Amino acid sequence: ARAWPRLGSLMLYSFDPEPNPFLPLRPTLASLYSFAQHCPRLHSLEIMLDARVLPITHDTSQPPQGQVAALRIGHSPIFRPSAVARFLSDIFPNLVTIARPVFYKATPEEMAIRDRRWTKVKGLLPEFVAVREEER
């Protein structure tokens, strides 16, 4: 991300029609720090993440990236929706859209679980953003 300071939109997907759940090949949520820090013009990001892995620490000296309004996360796996919403609201305080295009070979149960969890993130995000605004 450091090499793209003028980047406005990025679509970065990998697609494996037969994914191996034992090989975590997706970037984690921590990879979003780099985009937030080095891409001040970024407004739209499409990336598949492993949202099951939460960053341990956060550099609070870095101001949040205020341009990203849309995040498309594909079929990204997720465990803790409230923690993910809290993290996203911290680095992308103007995030209003989280989209999940479905083009993934998964069981209906697996897709339903992911959809339910990401829908919860979308619902919690405005509340966390409001709290962040009050803190600033």
Which of 25-34, 62-71, 122-131 has the lowest average pLDDT? 62-71
pLDDT more than 90, % of the chain: 24
Show me where the domains of the chain are located: 30-135
pLDDT for residue 59: 60
Query: Nearest-CA neighbor of 95 among 31, 131, 45, 136?
Result: 45
For residue 9, the cross-strand partners are 44
Residue pair 76/52 in contact by the 8 Å Cβ criterion: no
Residue 15 three-state SS: coil
Q: What pTM was computed for the model?
A: 0.83
| Cα 6 versus chain centre, distance | 20
Q: Residues 78-125: pLDDT tens digits?
A: 999 999 999 999 889 888 888 876 555 667 888 888 889 999 999 999
